[in-house]
Amino acid sequence: MRTSAQWWKEVKADPQRLTAWLQRQYVGEMAAVNLLSEVLTRYASEATEGEWHTVHKVMCQEATHARWIKKVMDDRGIKPEPNGSSDRRYWKEVLPGVTNFSEAMAAAFHAESMRLERIRAIAADEDAPADIRAVFQKILPHEEWHEEVFNKMRKNRELTKYHDKGLRALNLVLT
């Protein structure tokens, strides 16, 4: 298991891994849009109008993040993964535990908290490639807001055991 700082140091030092990571970032941002759309499809009847609107706003921001990542890739001559899949190791462990809107928001909260650790590491890394660091500095305030609103909407639901299984699937230790 490794920390986000250890992971990022390894990724940025290897051009092939960095390219593959950027491709997965694009897919991941689009997967977030799809996951949140699925939440609204399944559990809209449990969400207030304000909660529905908030989840939709997060979806739009995730799509914007994908566009920003795609621009970095375009500028670097990197194509998206051919037949990219949004299958995610983390979500395979977490989604089976989700049975209602609050649990979906708990899952989203845990995922955002986990992701924020990596985003903060990249945004603060003065040795990171400038284009990548700049994008993650733009993404950071959105993701902090996502964590905040998901925390409110989870209504004290945890899903901790599923989150822990997801972290193990990623081989990630949060500090």
107: part of which helix (H) or strand (E)?
helix 101-124
Domain that holds residue 87: 4-170
pLDDT for 89: 64
Write the CATH number for 127. 1.20.1260.10
> Looking at the domain assignment, is residue 57 inside a domain?
yes
pLDDT band at 77 (very low <50, low <70, confident <90, very high): very high
Is 91 within 8 Å of 35 (Cβ atoms)?
Answer: yes
Residue 39 in tokens: 């939440």
What would the mean pLDDT of 82-97 be, rounded to a whole number?
69
Assigned domain for 18 exists? yes
Confidence (pLDDT) at 114: 82
In a domain, 175, yes or no: no
Is the pLDDT score of 175 beyond 50?
no
From its phi and psi, is residue 171 left (phi > 0), alpha (psi between -120 and 50) or beta? left
What's the average model confidence in pLDDT over 92-103?
Answer: 82
Give tens-digit pLDDT for 25-35: 999 899 889 88
pTM of the complete model: 0.86
Q: How many domains does the chain have?
A: 1
